[in-house]
Each structure stands twice: as C-alpha cells, then as structure tokens.
Structure 1
Amino acid sequence: MDFNFTEEQEMVRDSLARMVREQYDFDTRRSVVESESGWRPEIWAQLAELGLLGMPFSEADGGFGGSAVDSLIVMEEFGKGLVVEPFVPTVVCAGGFFKHAGSDAQKAEHLAGIIDGSRVFAFAYAEPRGRYDLADLETTARRDGDGYLLSGHKAVVIGAPWASHLVVTARTSGERRDREGISVFIVPKDADGVTTRDYPTVDGRRASEVYFENVAVPAEALIGEEGAALPLIGRVVDEAIAAQCAEACGAMKVAHEMTVEYSRQRKQFGMPIGSFQVLQHRMVDMFMEYEQSVSMTYLATLRLDDEPKERKRAVASAKVRVGQAAHHVGQEAIQIHGGMGMTDELAIGHYFKRLTIFDSEFGNVDHHMKRHVALSAAG
C-alpha cells in the first residue's frame, strides 16, 4: 500500500504548514479562543481562497478532485497548530453527506457554499442519553404536509456557535435505538423553533446544546432516502474519525517535540533532565506511540472507500490505537514538564487538553474496541 504523497499534496502541506506557523502561533491562538467569537472568520475565508475547503470534493461537484487523503493532510497540519476553525463539521461531515447522498440542488446550494466559505455547518447527531450509538435517537421528524416538523435536543454540537446551518439526524419512524427509521436533514440555524446554548469546550473550541421545537423544514431538506440514513451516517462518521485521527497525530508530534526541547533546557542536579536515561526511554516511547498512530491513521484513510466492513474495522482500529497513543503522549508530556505543564501560559497544557478530549469524540477507545471485536467476530 502506497503511503507516499503526490507532489501537489506536498505543496499543499508546505503552504498550509507555513500559514499555521505564521498565523496560528500559540499566543495568537490563545487570544482567539479567549475572544468573544472564539474563532477567526478571516482565516476561514483564507482557507476557502486557498482552495482547501473544496479540495476533498470532485470537480463535478465544484471541488478540486481530491480525496480523504487531502483532508488528512489538512487535519494533520491543523493538529500541529491546534486550529479551532470547523473543518471537520463543515467540510468532512456536512460535505460528506452532500458528496455521498446530496441531490443536485443541495450540492449546487450547500456544497458550493461550503467550498466558497459562505456556509458553515455543524453536525448535530449526539444526544444526552445516546452515548456513542448513532441509532439511539429521541429527536423526531414527523411528516407535516409536504415537509417535516423536528423536535428534540442535540448535545455538544461542535462548531454550532459559528454555523449558519445544521445537519441533523432524526427519527422519522420506529422506536428509540431501532436501526431503521433514521433520516438526515438540513436545518438553518436561524429557523423558527431552533434555540441554542453556546459554551467553550475544555480544549478551546466552541459547542452548543441545540433544541428543536416543531421546527418546520421542507421535503428538500431531507438528505438521501427517508428512514434509511444510518449506513450513510456511519460512513460520514468514519470519515470524520479518520480526519480527527490525523489531527491527533499532528498534535502528538508537536507535544513530543516540545517535551524533548523542554528536557534539553530544564536542569536538575546541574544537568539537563533529557540526559537522564529513564526520561529518554519515556520520550522514545512517546515517539513510537506517535509513529504507530500515523501508520494506523494512513491505513484507515486509504480504506475509507473499501467495502463497509473493512472500512469500519480499519477506522475502529485506528481510533483505538490513536486514542491510546493520545492519552499516553499527553500524560507523559505533562509528567515530564511537571506541574507547570498544566498552566494556561504554557502551550503543552493546551495540547494535552486537545489530546484528552479527542478520545471522547465519535466514540472512545472502549467503544471502538468493542466495535472492532464485533466486526472481527462477524467474520
């Protein structure tokens, strides 16, 4: 399997790395996440201008003919800078729904808006009692004339404070946890009946609790087939997991480099602590965890277009390995830095927080371990 990037992809990586380095230094990022808005729309516009928001989409859909590998490149560099702009909710999740199941009209309106940066989406799928089961839904969408009425509560909707639109999963038939009867809708965030409670997350992003009370949407808001959306949702979530694994790899790389550099500067007993063999071994272990994560992430990304069982198995394996590694690298980085590593003024603490929160998104290590076991047992 070829893990090499094309010359064009290397050029994209280099230009993006330069942009993150020059415009997303730690002090700048810290001031942005502490600001009222919590992000920079001008950076989003710049990403659109560079073509990064349209890179994963086919030329027929108005994109630049890229793939999930291109999203991997973007997310790896974003992870290095702890970029907070909502690339995964908008480009990977919402864009994935339109790419795989959107109508021509939906693509012309919404996918074009994603590519040019004029539309920002959030993916409202998680519910307070749903844990990580994508089919555990209490949000409902009932027929009302030619359209639907949505009611329910979505929890921890990442990027929702910045979004113009939401992609919402809802039950159109069946009972809670049924695998059938699940549909996906496009909902303008300013629609009547939509209310939000916005808040900052531990790792510096923004999220919302989103409430729907008889929110009317037209039939054209339905993405794909009514009641049969669970396989589509699973595919998009797997693509989002692969992208976030790449982000975690980028964050782990920087966390390891910061720890090595700190160990060269910090002295104890008149010697740099990096000269102590026990700490050298721990930092080598951190590096190995990072390298294994990169390999698993690349493999999962390359298998996103395989048949569903292989895709699910590869993604579950990557989420387990990267989740374990993120926990290890983050913990070791803080241990070697000492108590000051957890202060807000030191960058390593912010990387630790992002790597810690990574485990809880789209299913934690335990969830995906059980998922992998079940897929393997099924043959």
Structure 2
Amino acid sequence: MDFALTDEQRMLEETLTRLVADQVSPTQRRAMLDAPRQAPSTLWRTFAELGLLHMPFSEAVGGLGGDGTDLMIIMQALGRGLVPEAYLAGLVLPGQLLALTANSVQQTRWLAPLLEGEHQLALAWQEHGARYDAFAVSTQAIKHNAQWRLTGRKDVVLNLEAAAAYLVTARLESGKLGLFILPAGTPGLSLHLYRTMDDQAAGDLTLDDVTLPDENCLSEDVSEALADVLALGRAALCADAIGAMEEACDQTLAYLKDRKQFGLPLATFQALQHRMVDMHLHLEQSRSMAILACTSLSLPADERDYKIAAAKAYCGESARFIAEQAIQLHGGMGMTEECHVAHYAKHLVMFDHYLGDSDYHLETVSDQLSVA
C-alpha cells in the first residue's frame, strides 16, 4: 500500500514544520501558556489565514475537504511542537459535531465563525464515574413548552475557559442522547477551571437548572454523530502523539551524544544504545498504527472503531514507554521544568488518558474479537 504524500500534503507538512519552528520555541510556548486565555491568539489567526481551520471540514459546510491523512499531518506537526492551541478540543471535535447535527441557521451562527477563527468552542461529554463512556450520561434535559431545562455536571472539559460556547450532551426523557449548545455566560452555568498535567486548559462545567430556547438544541439523538466525532478525535490524538514521541526520541538522542561520562559520550555505551533502539521501535510501530487509525475513518462503524481502538491502545502504551525512557536517560534533570523533554513526557502520559486509556480501548478490541 502506498503511503506517500501528495505534493499538496508535502507542502502542508513543510509549511507547518516551518511555522511551528518559528513561532513555538520552548520560550514562546511558555509565554503562550502564561498569557491570559483569550481567543483568537496571534497563532490561531495565522492558522486561519493558512486555511488550517477549514482543512478538516467538508466542502459542504465551508471547509476544504481534507481527509484523515491531512488531519494526521496537522496533528503530528502540532504534537512535535507541543503547540498550546486547542486545535482538536476547540475546533475539530465541536466543529465536526456541529457539521453533523446543526441546521443551516445554527451553522451560520456557530460553525462559520469557528472556521474563520473568530471564536473557539468546547465539547462537554465526560462525566464523573462514566470511565470514558460517552453514553453513560446522567445530565438531564427536560423539555417544557418551547424551552429545555438542563441539570448535571461535565468533567474535564478541554478548552472550557476560552470557548465562546459549549456543546453539552444530556439524557432526554425519551431515553435518547441529546446535544445542546450553551453560550458562555448562560445563567445557571458555573465553571471550575484548572490545567491538566500537560498544561492544557480544562475545567468542570456544572449546570444548575439551565434554561435554553428550543433553537439551542442541536440534536435529540446525537449518539451516532458523537461516536463518529470521538473516533475522529482518537485517530487525531494518535497522530499528535507520534509527533511528540518523535521529538522526545530526538531530544533524548541529542542529549546522549552531548553528555559525557568517563570521557566518552553516553551514546557510545551499548546498553543505552539498546534503549534508544527500543524507543524507536515503539515509535515506528506506533506510526503504523496511527496511519491505520487515520485511514480507517471512512470504514463502517464497527470496523473503524475496532482499528482505532487498537491504534489508541498501542500508541498509549508506546507513549508511556517513550516518556519513561526519555526521563530516565536524561537523569534527574529530565524531571525539571527547564528540561524541555519533561514537557513531552507529561504530554505523552496524558495522551493515554484523553478519549479513553489503553485499558479502555483494549476492552473494546476484546469485545469486538469476542463478537467475531
């Protein structure tokens, strides 16, 4: 099978590589993280100018019609630079769900400005005790006349602080899963903001008898669309992890070549060479699994979910292995804030927990095999 990139995809890869190298150095990244959370940032506006915000969306909703490979190129470059922009959480996941569920009026109000870089959104789907199950939802939505009343809580909502609105899943009286869009500042909402271990902005969203007009309901049966979007997100995360694993391996190898012991570079010691080989083996096998995930998005749901779950589980285990090896080979300095590889290690550890950890996805694979 030919995995060679097209000329356009190579140009996209080269453009992104230069952009990340120029604008997201370790010092610049720290300044971005410390800056007040406001969208759009200068880098986000650059993304919009380059068409990166339109790329993963179909032409039917104003996008450029990019496929899984295009998304993989973008996410891999962002992962390699640890770019602190919510491209997946603030654009791709909520935007794709809007594209699948919103009517023309709702798309004009929320999706069109999202693709133009005028605002970001957030997808609130996780709940306490649900263990990554997007359909184990206790948040309730009750309709009375032409209004909806929502009560519940969503946990670990990425990009919560910068979002102009939140897409919230809730259980309807019919038993189906509904989807609602709540503008920031809606009465009855309360936010508890924090940073994840790898410095991503997140928070918990509490809904206390929130009242919404009927036009804020995007779907009264969002289960299939939500499954499609989460599958896309998991494939994109695998690509992001590949970029981070690449850079962690490169930085570790450069350190071993530079650091000397007994008058010799650490890279000359055979035991450490073996460990670097193991890191690269995990990286290359994970790369193959990430390609599998990103090229499986158009398959039937059962086959798609099986392959993406296998990829997410394998990449999660590899990410933890490479993170641990990178820290150990750097020694004590690998645990310091000043050592940039520590930030990659934290990101790779957290990658395993976003949209389901390795254990969760291995169960999915096991269930699919049992059915087969």
**Bin for the TM-score computed over the shorter chain:** over 0.9
Q: CA deviation at 1:39?
A: 8.0
Q: 1:28 to 1:40 in 2, by over 3 A?
A: farther
The amino acid across from 1:272 in the alignment is P
Q: Take 1:39 and 1:64, find their aligned partners in 2: how far apart are those partners?
A: 22
What are the Cα deviations for residues 277-299 of structure 1, in whole angstroms up to 9, with x where unaligned? 11111111111111111111111
The amino acid across from 1:212 in the alignment is L
- Structure 1 gaps of 5+ residues are 175-179
Q: Percent identical across equivalent pairs?
A: 37
Secondary structure, aligned partner of 1:152: strand
Q: CA deviation at 1:248?
A: 0.5
- After superposition, where does 1:148-163 map in structure 2 within 5 Å? 148-163=148-163
Match for residue 239 of structure 1? 232
The amino acid across from 1:265 in the alignment is D
Q: 1:318 to 1:130 in 2, by over 3 A?
A: same
Q: CA deviation at 1:144?
A: 2.3
After superposition, the CA RMSD in angstroms is: 1.5
- After superposition, where does 1:1-379 map in structure 2 within 5 Å? 1-37=1-37, 41-173=41-173, 180-224=175-219, 226=220, 228-379=221-372
Q: Take 1:209 and 1:114, find their aligned partners in 2: how far apart are those partners?
A: 22
Secondary structure, aligned partner of 1:158: coil
Alpha carbons 2:40, 2:118 under 8 Å: kept: no
Q: CA deviation at 1:319?
A: 0.5
Alpha carbons 2:186, 2:210 under 8 Å: kept: yes
Q: 1:2 to 1:217 in 2, by over 3 A?
A: farther
The amino acid across from 2:274 in the alignment is H
How many residue pairs are counted as aligned between the two chains? 372
The amino acid across from 1:214 in the alignment is D
Q: CA deviation at 1:214?
A: 1.7
> Taking structure 1 as the reference length, what is the TM-score of the superposition?
0.95
Alpha carbons 1:97, 1:223 under 8 Å: kept: no
Q: CA deviation at 1:141?
A: 0.9
Q: Take 1:337 and 1:299, find their aligned partners in 2: how far apart are those partners?
A: 32
- Structure 2 gaps of 5+ residues are none
Q: CA deviation at 1:38?
A: 8.3
The amino acid across from 1:164 in the alignment is A
Alpha carbons 2:158, 2:201 under 8 Å: kept: yes
The amino acid across from 1:134 in the alignment is A
Secondary structure, aligned partner of 1:162: coil
Alpha carbons 2:39, 2:119 under 8 Å: kept: no
Q: Take 2:173 and 2:224, find their aligned partners in 1: how far apart are those partners?
A: 16
The amino acid across from 1:299 in the alignment is L
Secondary structure, aligned partner of 2:127: coil
Stretch moving more, 332-341 or 132-141: 132-141
Alpha carbons 2:40, 2:119 under 8 Å: kept: no
Match for residue 177 of structure 1? none
